[in-house]
Amino acid sequence: MPFTPNDLTIRPITGPEELDLFRELPYVLDHELADDLAERRRRPEWMWIARRGDRVLARVAWWSRPGDLVPDRLDILDVLDGGDDARRGGAPGPDRLDVGELLLRTAMSAVLPAGSTPPEYGRFVAPDWRDTPASARTVQDRMAILRRTGAELFVERLRLEWRPGASPLPAPAGHLAFRPVDGTGELIDLMTSALTGTLDAHGRDDLTRMSARQAAVRHYEDELARFTSPRDWWCVATLPDKEPVGFVIPAHNGYNPVIAYIAVLPAHRGKGHIDALLAHGTRLLAEQDVPRVRAATDLGNVPMARAFRRAGYVEFGREITMTWS
């Protein structure tokens, strides 16, 4: 039987004036919510809460790139922690999962286009989230709610960061030359080639549904083309004979300086070129006097993770991604 308690109120927030209410359940991104609303990366009608009396028991929210009419990802899903439920008016025991499921299903039916596949879920978690019972239970509860609506784990990703002063600048490599990307066409050609043999879960999934070029075009249009940071930061690495061996896309994503994309072309892998590309991208951003450079890679992409660590990047978090089919 569906869980439909009569004393539960489920609704979107009315606007920025209810952000304090929405933030009763904490998350590391809470400090960004006001700016996200102002920049139209979020909308009040995409931010929902479940309340019993004056207590928020659960919340969900979607995010998009500025100006998009439909959400790009579900990135907030929280339920009142089980250890505090009974004391604070929350749903005791397993019922909190029922509250979360009911909220999510109700919000999805109102927010997402009818008949559409929901956008992916991505949640930042601590790097050691499995190591303590409380943190493991919190992450697993959220995943359980999502599974009830048909989502499955897609990939776990490492969140990495380089900070000036905390890590030395990676040394420049003398065996490669760097030049700006020669327009959109060249970049899409390079991205298409780089998808051969990729270890990236999103790239591999794209290749099950479309050609490598179609996947490259979509990635470019959905993400890279939207960056407002200078495109002359985007670089191709070449051998002395001008042959490209790879490329790196340093950028600012609206929140942080990032290594947005980095790849070695298939014919040149296994020769240490990734270290030179990463050093170049990191040094370019460091020259902008940034407080940090962030990056991410799949937990299973061991070669890329090792390259980031060699360059002085440290793991500061993980991201759990789940998808609906």
Task: Name the band, by pLDDT with cuts 50, 70 and 90, for residue 175.
Answer: confident
Amino acid at 163: R
The least confident of 40-44, 87-91, 124-128, 151-155 is: 87-91
Q: Name every residue whose Cβ is closer than 8 Å to that of residue 295 and which is 6 or more positions away in sequence.
A: 160, 161, 162, 258, 259, 262, 308, 313
Query: What pLDDT digit, counting tens, does each position of 55-92 carry?
Result: 999 999 999 999 899 999 999 999 998 655 444 544 54
- For residues 245 and 67, the model is more confident at 245
CA dist 254 and 252 (Å) reads 6
Only one residue has tokens 């030395």, namely 168
CA dist 42 and 61 (Å) reads 8
| CATH class entry, domain 177-323 | alpha beta
Please say whether the beta carbons of 179 and 238 come within 8 A: yes
Report in angstroms the alpha-carbon separations of 114 from 61, 77, 111, 130: 18, 21, 9, 36
CA dist 146 and 1 (Å) reads 18
What are the strands of the beta sheet with 257-264, ordered from one edge? Answer: 8-12, 47-52, 55-63, 73-79, 121-125, 314-323, 152-162, 293-298, 257-264, 244-252, 235-238, 177-180
**Among the CATH numbers 3.30.70, 3.90.380, 3.40.50, 3.40.630, which is that of 8-150?**
3.40.630
Task: Name the band, by pLDDT with cuts 50, 70 and 90, for residue 173.
Answer: confident
**What mean pLDDT is predicted for residues 251-273?**
97
pLDDT at 171: 87
Query: What pLDDT digit, counting tens, does each position of 108-140 carry?
Result: 999 999 999 999 999 999 999 999 999 999 999
CA dist 315 and 207 (Å) reads 28
Work out the mean pLDDT of the chain and round it to a whole number. Answer: 94
Only one residue has tokens 């102002």, namely 38
Residue ranges, CATH 3.40.630.30, the chain: 177-323
Query: What pLDDT digit, counting tens, does each position of 179-235 carry?
Result: 999 999 999 999 999 999 999 999 999 999 999 999 999 999 999 999 999 999 999
Please say whether the beta carbons of 3 and 98 come within 8 A: yes
